[in-house]
Amino acid sequence: MNPIGPIPQDVLAQRRARFRAQLGEGVALVPGAKLVRRSNDVDYGFRQRSDLLYLTGFNQPNAVALLSRDRFVLFVQPREPAAETWTGRRPGVEGALRDYGADEAYPIAELTERLPLYLENVPRLYHRFGDDRDIDEIVQLALERVRSRVRAGITAPEEIVAPQSMLHEMRLLKEDGELEILREAADISREAHHAAARACREGAWEYEVEAALLHVFRARGGSGPAYPPIVGAGNNATILHYTENCSRLAAGQLVLIDAGVELHGYASDVTRTYPVGGRFEGRAREVYAAVLRAQQDALAAIDVGTSLRSIHEVAARSLVKGLLELGVLGGAPEDLFEEQAYQPFYMHTTGHFLGLDVHDVGNYSVGGKPRPLEPGMVFTVEPGLYFSVDNEQIPEELRGIGVRIEDDVVLTHNGVEILTSAIPREIDDVEAWMRA
């Protein structure tokens, strides 16, 4: 089977057309990412800014897109054979025109000189200050140059508006091609989690489990992890963003694995919790069952018009019930929910949007109220319970147990599609999967 490719250029052109239609007489500036120094003369691996990637597919550093109602301009690094020998091939100006659909293309060094020309007699500039100091300075200089020509009858933009208010609304509703990539990313993450689950043996190291994940991510064509993988055994699972992954797995522990692949810029975000040795036992089994029930309740609550907030409340109420059964809390369930008595053990929300960013863009409230969910929105459902060894207020046998179960879902006109449903969640299924 042929691997799924990136979003094709004709679809990107349609995106740009929809975006450009919203600009009116304005001009939008969308800068890309730069290389970032890791140490001495070594850079971090390059990852394009998601907004530029969404509109253009251009995946090279030091690029800027300029868009208006009637033109699409790319400023890029020019071809330079000597540099390309060291750092790889560049599309250059020619490639920007030929392969990326630009109406005009220029070397990035010409942005300072050319930008004022595009801003003459334009009422509105769409640009978000604060993302890139160098680009901000170029914009400021361009505005000053245009304003200096007022006596010649030239006007400068009177409004400066961040384009993300429009662009991120577009990104929030996923197209069919995006969903295909997200489904493939979910399947790659399924295979990676299977390899990691089988590596959860007594005496193994967390980094060995991480290596099993990373191998599958790259072997299946992903660019790598969508975020630093979390492989937390025992008490490490109670640290929400634990990434050291340097401890040894011991018998009786649970291992929380939060890891998803990035494919063509799109993120998968999956968490499963596995028992070292392949069997859930004792209080760990009870905690896992409580979290699983909370996730099932939350998934059942998803529908068009509901909100991530209401889904979170369903999960939190379920977890309150679980905490009562575990002997962690005491009292009336509704009072405990209203008091947020669960927060010391469940301190994050139940879901977030997912897409080109693992915590994807999109407003979570509209008009001061939780945003109603619509078909085409992709998000996570991820309840958890975390009992630190340092918490002396809970039963001793619970300390050092952390459980999270996270799936990626898309809301469709026909209901809910769980993209990561092939990764087992039920206790018997997880145990069988670890043996397979």
Strand partners, 126: 28, 161
Task: Report the alpha-carbon distance of residue 408 to residue 230 in Å, rounded.
Answer: 17
**Structure-block tokens of residue 415:** 């209901």
DSSP conformational letter for 353: B
Other CB atoms closer than 10 Å to residue 276's CB: what's the count? 21
Given the structure tokens 């489904």, which residue do they identify? 183
Helix 308-325 crosses helix 282-300 at what angle (to 10 degrees)?
150
Task: Please give the backbone phi and psi of residue 273, each rounded to the nearest 5 degrees, phi first.
Answer: -125, 125
Given the structure tokens 């208006």, which residue do they identify? 68
**Structure-block tokens of residue 381:** 């459902």
**Structure-block tokens of residue 107:** 């070397």
Task: Report the alpha-carbon distance of residue 94 to residue 92 in Å, rounded.
Answer: 5
Of 211, 206, 260, nearest in space to 233 by CA: 206
Q: Are 281 and 275 in contact (CB under 8 A)?
A: yes
DSSP conformational letter for 241: T
Q: Are 108 and 29 in contact (CB under 8 A)?
A: no
**Structure-block tokens of residue 249:** 């797995």
Which are the contacts of 212, defined by CB distance < 8 A and separation ≥ 6? 192, 195, 196, 198, 199
DSSP conformational letter for 131: S
Q: Which residues are marked as active site?
A: 41, 241, 258, 269, 348, 352, 359, 382, 386, 404, 406
Torsion of CA 220, 43, 101, 110, to 10 degrees: 180
Task: Report the alpha-carbon distance of residue 266 to residue 182 in Å, rounded.
Answer: 7
CA distances from 337 to 264, 340, 341, 381, 424 (A): 41, 5, 6, 19, 29
Sequence letter at residue 184: E
